[in-house]
Structure 1
Amino acid sequence: MPFKAKDQQGNIVLATDFKSVLEIRKNFPKGSLFCPFCQTLMFPRKRQNTSLHFVHTHPCTTVMEHHPESPEHLQGKLEISKYFQEVYKGMIDAQEAFIEIEHPISEAGKNGRIADVAVVFSTGYRIIGECQLAKIEAADIYQRTQDYYSISADVLWFLGGAADTPENRQAAVDLDVFAGTINFTYST
């Protein structure tokens, strides 16, 4: 359930820039939105207890590492984005940085990764915010962190739900990448 699609001209379309599915459909007719990662057709969707987002007409075929996302995970990405907006407001206002949800990094890891949220600085430096709510092993936190370190990016992990275990917290603390827990009630 990504927040971004690509139009026929290759421009990124963010679901967060619109108020409704109808508004997106008025601006982008059927068959004119594509996955920015695998190029398959996408369409807008908003269901009860979810944010406005895009859905593939067929499963995403990108080789970049990505995982299924719950409505809570989508909301978590928005919360991390808001957090980064606040922390880096001065740099964003000065156009020294921008924030991107679902930031593709083809050179991170074996097949690349799609970071949940990234602060991208004009120097090329990146800070990655990873929202993890589903069960994950500490070894996966180490590996994903190392994949981001391999491109000289820093990482902050926001753990919640089934991912917020003592082992995962310790892994994130050991790596000095533990941002804290993310617990919220989803609201429409």
Structure 2
Amino acid sequence: MGLIARQRSTKRLLNIFDFKQPRKEIDQKDIECHLCEGDLIIKSGMMRMKHFAHKPSAPCKCDYARHPESYEHNFFKNLLSKHLGEEFEEYLHAEAQQEFPVHEVRRVADIAFTFPGGWVVVHEVQLCKITTHDLEARTNDYRDAGYDVVWWIGKNADTESNRKWLLENFGECFRLDYQMASESNPSRSRL
């Protein structure tokens, strides 16, 4: 599910959550995939979370490593990108971009925070099962591209071995709990 589209006429990135009624507020003929420039449509119905999608006749042609994302995954991406500065003061002046393409390693980071001096920190939300080997490989990819990394784990990724690896390699382990987050922030739980 794509949360980000590029407006063709302005080259501006659009986050679908910035629009209450995206089908009425966004000209669908003026949006494209920010990775492959393919045509997008807006999906926003009663059963599925609103998102951008490639037209069925024109699937995404890019070869960037990405994975399907759940409602909870997108909830946390949006929550972190919009509210991390409330918890960590250093993020108040950073610009957040969801679905940040890391061209050097052909990956799409969940969120990248760019600070005024140009320093970029990638934040990855991981809820699906992942091994410490894969955590390390993805971390090394981002570091090789010149970015620092922060991992947020929850659900099936929140294992003892992953917590231990994060503590040993980063000195911290950020854990996510959708039920607790949505109950403590009911207005934020409705994407």
* TM-score, length basis structure 2: 0.82
Q: Distance in 1 between matches of 2:123 and 2:109?
A: 7
Identity of aligned residues (%): 29
Work out whether residues 20 and 52 of structure 1, in 8 Å CA contact, stay in contact via their aligned partners in 2.
no
Q: Are residue 156 (structure 1) and residue 154 (structure 2) matched?
A: no
Relative distance call for 1:178 and 1:66 in structure 2 (3 A) is: farther
Give the AA of the match of 1:14: N
Work out whether residues 157 and 177 of structure 1, in 8 Å CA contact, stay in contact via their aligned partners in 2.
no
Work out whether residues 82 and 96 of structure 2, in 8 Å CA contact, stay in contact via their aligned partners in 1.
no
- TM-align CA RMSD: 2.2
Which segments of 5 or more consecutive residues in structure 1 lack a partner in the other structure?
A: none
> Quick one: which of 44, 48, 55 aligns to 2:53?
55
Q: Distance in 2 between matches of 1:66 and 1:42?
A: 17
Aligned to 1:147: 141
State the Cα deviation string for residues 60-105 of structure 1 (Å, max 9, x = none). 222122111111110010122134232246752xxxx311111111
Aligned to 1:23: 24
The aligned runs of 1:75-154 (5 Å cut-off) are: 75-86=75-86, 87-88=88-89, 91-92=92-93, 97-107=94-104, 109=105, 112-154=106-148
Aligned to 1:42: 40
Relative distance call for 1:179 and 1:78 in structure 2 (3 A) is: farther
Relative distance call for 1:122 and 1:70 in structure 2 (3 A) is: same
Q: Bigger relative contact order, structure 1 or 2, given CA contacts below 8 A and separation 6+?
A: 1
Q: Deviation above 6 Å: which 4+ runs of structure 1?
A: none
Q: Distance in 2 between matches of 1:64 and 1:75?
A: 22
Give the AA of the match of 1:134: C
Q: State the secondary structure of the residue aligned to 1:155.
A: strand
Which segments of 5 or more consecutive residues in structure 2 lack a partner in the other structure?
A: 183-188
* TM-score, length basis structure 1: 0.83
